[in-house]
Structure 1
Amino acid sequence: MAMHFEMTVYILRCADGSYYVGSTKQEVEARIWEHNNLPLDSYTARRRPVELVFTESYERITDAISRERQIKGWSRRKKEALIALAYETLPELSRRSHLIS
C-alpha cells in the first residue's frame, strides 16, 4: 500500500498588504495558526494578522517546493492574478515583466 503525502503551497496576505508564499506538510489551517500566534522572529510575525488567500496541493514534495519558488519570484500583480484564479492572465503578466526588465 503506497503512502500518501500531500504538500500545500499557500499565499498569505499580511496586515501590511504584502504577500507571503510558503509550503507545508501539515494541515494548512494549523500552519496559518502558527503564523498568527507563535512567537517567531519571522516575516509574518512582524506583519500579523495574516490571512490565507490561496492554496494548491501537491502529492510530491519536489513539485510543491518548485511551485513555491516559482510563485515567490512573481510580481505582486501576477500573485494577485493567481489569487483571483485568473489563470488566463498569467502568461500576459509574464510577458509584460520581461518587457519592463
Structure 2
Amino acid sequence: MFSFNYILNDIKNNIDYRIDNIHRTIDNLYYEYILNLLEEEKNEILEEILRNILKIILCDVETTVRRSAQKVLQNAEGDTNLMLKRAKGLQSLGKMILQKVN
C-alpha cells in the first residue's frame, strides 16, 4: 500500500511546470471549454465574473474606509470636540458614498 505522501510526490514530480507547457494547457482548456459554449452561456459567465470583481472592489473600499475611520477617530488626542467634528465628517462622507452607490 502506497503512502499518501509518496503519491503526492509522484504527482508533483511528474507535472511539467515549464511556461510553454502551462500556456499550452491554458490554450487547450480554452479551446475545449470556452469555444464550445453558446453566446448566452459566455455572457452569463462574464456577468458572474464582473459581479465577483465588483464584490471584491466593494469589500476593498469598505475595508479601507473602515480602517481610515478608525485612525481618524483614534487620533483625536482626547479632544472631544475634535472627535465629534471628525465623526460628523465621516458620517457626511458615508452619506455621500451611499448616494453615489444608490
- Structure 2 length as normaliser, TM-score? 0.24
More strand by share: 1
Q: Which has the higher contact order (CA 8 A, sep 6+)?
A: 1
Q: TM-score, normalised by structure 1?
A: 0.24
Bigger Rg, which one: 2
Query: Greater helix share, 1 or 2?
Result: 2
